[in-house]
Amino acid sequence: KQEVTQIPAALSVPEGENLVLNCSFTDSAIYNLQWFRQDPGKGLTSLLLIQSSQREQTSGRLNASLDKSSGRSTLYIAASQPGDSATYLCAVRGNTPLVFGKGTRLSVIA
Amino acid sequence: DAGVIQSPRHEVTEMGQEVTLRCKPISGHNSLFWYRQTMMRGLELLIYFNNNVPIDDSGMPEDRFSAKMPNASFSTLKIQPSEPRDSAVYFCASSPESYNSPLHFGNGTRLTVT
């Protein structure tokens, strides 16, 4: 059974800092890995999708990497802003629909 | 595109009552998913449909839970009878019929059972 773990559970950084969020998964037989953002009281918004054959994906200040063999992914956020404050969730898709980690709650302090 | 639409946004009910949650997926999306989110357990898949057909309902916690998708533009999740431990945020999500398509989530229904 696939299990997804995200560390740390919460993170607070000053504005302008670069930061890395971590995600690990137990079963490397995946089709893709997705990163989502969740704002309080809202649904999840897809940020990046990395297919199993890819090593990384970039969107603006966000860069996600995937090391399928070691069961790890990172989400790198450059030059963080207060508007980046949210919970970031990682999810993997294998033979079953997306299995989610519990997320990292990020606070960017102005 | 209006996105995935869920109703109601909030539901407060008493233990033992029937609760029905509704979802309208994005037009053209063939897959629909119901998830439940709690602080303790995070996001858990309850059931998903492909082309209106339930594919996997192994995540449905008990027989008190049932889901239907009578057509491509509407799905319901029903809890009968409801219990306090059912209190959670219930999300509906949809995607095109592809393993490598991102999921689009609704804003959820926050259910409180007293």
pLDDT single digits (tens) B15-32: 999 999 999 999 999 999
pLDDT in tens, chain A (110 residues): 899 999 999 999 999 999 999 999 999 999 999 999 999 988 999 999 999 999 999 999 999 999 999 999 999 999 999 999 999 999 999 888 899 999 999 999 99
Is A91 in contact with A99 (CB distance < 8 Å)?
yes
Q: Which two tokens stand for residue B64?
A: 């008190």
Closest chain B residue to the Cα of A90, Cα to Cα: B43
In DSSP terms, which residues pair with B102 in a beta bridge? Answer: none
Three-class SS of residue A83? helix
Best probe of the B interface among A45, A93, A98, A99, by most B CBs < 10 A, is A98
pLDDT single digits (tens) B37-95: 999 999 999 999 999 999 989 899 889 999 999 999 999 999 999 999 999 999 999 99
State the Cα–Cα distance between residues A87 and A34, nearest whole angstrom.
14
Beta-carbon contacts of residue B62 (< 8 Å; ≥ 6 apart): none
Closest chain A residue to the Cα of B101, Cα to Cα: A49
- Note whether B4 contacts A34, CB cutoff 8 Å: no
The gap between the terminal CA atoms of chain A, to the nearest Å, is 41
